[in-house]
Amino acid sequence: MNKILQEQFFVDDLSDDQKTVITNINDYIKQGLNGDTASVAVIEGAAGTGKSVVLMELVRQYMTDRHYRTSLVVNHPELYKAYRDLAESIPNMKASEIRRPTSLINYAQKNHKKYDIIFVDEAHLLYSKSEPYAHYRGQNQLTDLMALAKVVVVVYDFDQVFQSKMYWDRPLLDKTIGNHPHKQFNMNFQYRMVASDEQVDWMDDLTAEKPLKPFPDNSDFEFKMFDTAGELFENIKKRNKEVGMSRVVATSGFPRIDGRHNVEMDSFSLPWDEWDPQRTHWAKREGSITQVGTIYTLQGFDLNYVGMIIGPSFGYDKATDTMTIIPEKYSHKEIFKKRKDMKFSRDEYKDFIANVLNVLMKRGKYGLYLTAYDDDLRQRLLELGQETK
């Protein structure tokens, strides 16, 4: 089994909290398998709380047992690759039983297949509307999955919602589940980062447009501000040579220039990762050190160090001393797609963009290197960085 994937998704020394959640979900699954209607187990937690670790322990338990008809689905293309890689190394587990949700739904409906348990990672990426362009013609993928299984185990983080076609909030989830038996399993403990609670709060406050303050210096988590993206990149390359799995990432907003779709700032110019169809997932490829990661390739993955470039859609308001979010400068238009069944306000679009930055900043276990495209924002963060020292 690939060592990097194994360390991320299978932990030998599960915490007591994780063991308790697994035990409780196991009890609920066994109860649901004997029920008359589909039951839903909702695993909910923020980024870095170990949701995928818990899910994969359950997957390994049930999907290697031929007594159960099972499937694991994930709508994230890079995670899909990773899980298929893992499956090939786990005895009695079939990679063919890991699918994208549209693929599973269309296959099962066409062939009249039913399942005992369907596991769904990153369920906040399920389509909550028809998406014919992606060959999904239903109205809600969770509804369709519940119709196919006795038990559906879903992992949700509402703060990782980035697009209108995959929009989820608590009321929509409750409405979709309806009268089906369901139970929520909360995971509110941080495991990915060695950062303190106060340092995680700093990241949350930044993206929530709250007044800026120095980054707390109260853990082994390494935080550095850089005046140039070029310098940030050089430091990330050093970290990558030392400990591996260190990458530069950025939010959207960088325009296409002379046919190139690069992230360009000061001396820094590297291409986005988004159009690379390789089987090996982006975070694991050695060549990705010379590309810029996005939410579409890093969501759900751990890095050791993150070099975060805050893009042009973020500015600075001196009067309120806050970082501001400017949707008009966000160049990835997919998030703004209109829906017939609901309308989104400017503030809700700002939330989508804030969620992208928040998740990307939290990809690094051991450190965050930060810079910003906007001159005023970058200078203010540099001033605060000096106060941290």
Tell me which DSSP letter residue 38 carries: -
Secondary structure (3-state) at 273? coil
Range of the domain at 357: 197-388
pLDDT given for residue 209 in this prediction: 97
Among 198-202, 252-256, 333-337, whose mean pLDDT is lowest? 333-337
Residue 183 C-beta-side C-alpha neighbours within 13 Å? 12
**pLDDT tens column, 129-153:** 998 888 999 999 999 999 999 999 9
Q: Is residue 31 within 8 Å of residue 39, measured between CB atoms?
A: yes
Tell me which DSSP letter residue 131 carries: B
Residue 126 lies in a domain: yes
Averaged pLDDT for residues 13-37: 91
Sign of torsion over alpha carbons 57, 60, 66, 72 = positive
Secondary structure (3-state) at 78? helix
Secondary structure (3-state) at 194? coil
What's the CA gap between 103 and 173, in Å, rounded? 22
Task: Give me the amino acid identity at 128.
Answer: S
Does residue 41 register a pLDDT over 70? yes
Q: Which residue has the higher pLDDT, 248 or 83?
A: 248
Tokens in use for 184? Answer: 């929520």
Residues 22 and 126 in one domain: yes
Residues 23 and 98 in one domain: yes
Q: Which has the closest alpha carbon to 325: 210, 222, 218?
A: 210
What's the CA gap between 124 and 133, in Å, rounded? 19
pLDDT given for residue 166 in this prediction: 86
Tell me how far the alpha carbon of residue 88 is from its chain's centroid: 23
Does residue 87 register a pLDDT over 90? no
Does residue 355 register a pLDDT over 90? yes
What's the CA gap between 96 and 72, in Å, rounded? 10
Name the percent of the chain lying above pLDDT 90: 66
Among 131-140, 149-158, 198-207, whose mean pLDDT is lowest? 131-140
pLDDT given for residue 190 in this prediction: 59
Residue 192 lies in a domain: no
Does residue 3 register a pLDDT over 70? no
Secondary structure (3-state) at 370? strand
Residues 149 and 233 in one domain: no
Tokens 């209108």, residue? 164
Q: Is residue 58 within 8 Å of residue 25, measured between CB atoms?
A: yes
Q: Which residue has the higher pLDDT, 189 or 303?
A: 303
Tokens 């690094």, residue? 364
**pLDDT tens column, 90-118:** 888 899 999 999 999 999 999 999 999 99
pLDDT given for residue 389 in this prediction: 56
Secondary structure (3-state) at 230? helix
Q: Given 159, 187, 215, which residue is the final one in a domain?
A: 187
Residues 201 and 183 in one domain: no
**pLDDT tens column, 312-321:** 999 999 999 9
What's the CA gap between 197 and 149, in Å, rounded? 38
Does residue 6 register a pLDDT over 60? no
Does residue 276 register a pLDDT over 60? no
Does residue 246 register a pLDDT over 70? yes
- Give pTM, 2 decimals: 0.84
The bridge status of strand 262-265 relative to strand 268-271 is antiparallel
Residues 182 and 206 in one domain: no
Rounded alpha-carbon distances, angstroms, from residue 257 to 190, 271, 311: 40, 11, 15
Residues 318 and 259 in one domain: yes
Beta bridge partners of 74: 121
Task: Count the domains in the chain.
Answer: 2
pLDDT given for residue 278 in this prediction: 57
Residue 20 lies in a domain: yes
pLDDT given for residue 2 in this prediction: 55
pLDDT bucket at 1, cuts 50 / 70 / 90: very low
Residues 150 and 275 in one domain: no
**CATH code of the domain in which 178 resides:** 3.40.50.300
Does residue 387 register a pLDDT over 80? no
Tokens 């001393």, residue? 321
What's the CA gap between 160 and 379, in Å, rounded? 28
Q: Is residue 141 within 8 Å of residue 176, measured between CB atoms?
A: no
φ, ψ dihedrals at 340, nearest 5° = -75, -30
Q: Given 187, 219, 238, which residue is the final one in a domain?
A: 187
Residues 163 and 218 in one domain: no
Does residue 292 register a pLDDT over 60? yes
Which pairs count as long-range contacts for 380-388, CB under 8 Å and 24+ apart, including other chains? 380/212, 380/316, 380/321, 381/212, 381/225, 382/225, 382/227, 384/212, 384/213, 384/214, 384/215, 384/225, 385/214, 385/215, 385/223, 385/224, 385/225, 387/214, 388/214, 388/215, 388/216, 388/217, 388/223
Name the percent of the chain lying above pLDDT 70: 93
Residues 86 and 18 in one domain: yes
φ, ψ dihedrals at 69, nearest 5° = -95, 115
**pLDDT tens column, 45-82:** 877 777 888 998 999 999 999 999 999 999 988 888 88
Does residue 338 register a pLDDT over 90? no
What's the CA gap between 293 and 296, in Å, rounded? 8
pLDDT given for residue 269 in this prediction: 94
What's the CA gap between 23 and 50, in Å, rounded? 15
What's the CA gap between 223 and 313, in Å, rounded? 22
Averaged pLDDT for residues 155-178: 91
Residues 256 and 166 in one domain: no
pLDDT given for residue 11 in this prediction: 61
Tokens 């029920």, residue? 35
Residues 104 and 170 in one domain: yes
Residues 211 and 328 in one domain: yes
pLDDT given for residue 274 in this prediction: 52
Tokens in use for 60? Answer: 């390994």
